[in-house]
Amino acid sequence: MPALNITFTDEEHRALREAAERENVSLRTFVHDAVVEAARSRKHVRDEILARINDKSAELHRRLA
């Protein structure tokens, strides 16, 4: 399974560890889930933007035809 080695400042690491403790999960699980969710969220936003662009383009093409 692929793995990443990510460097954090002491302050960032402390904040992540505290957040993981509040969620009652390991630091590894917390960071993994946060990264996966961020990637999914960004893809969702990108997909919505592209859909709006396609809708506007289709409308423009209809007007020009």
Instruction: Give the model confidence (pLDDT) of 8-53 as tens digits.
Output: 999 999 999 999 999 999 999 999 999 999 998 888 778 888 888 8
pTM: 0.64
Would the pLDDT of 4 be above 80?
yes
Distance CA 21, CA 35 (A): 17
Check residue 46 and give its pLDDT. 82
Instruction: Give, as one character, the DSSP assignment of residue 3.
Output: -
CA 20 to chain centre: 18
DSSP string, 4-36: ------HHHHHHHHHHHHHHTS-HHHHHHHHHH
Check residue 55 and give its pLDDT. 85
Segment 51-64 shows an average pLDDT of 84
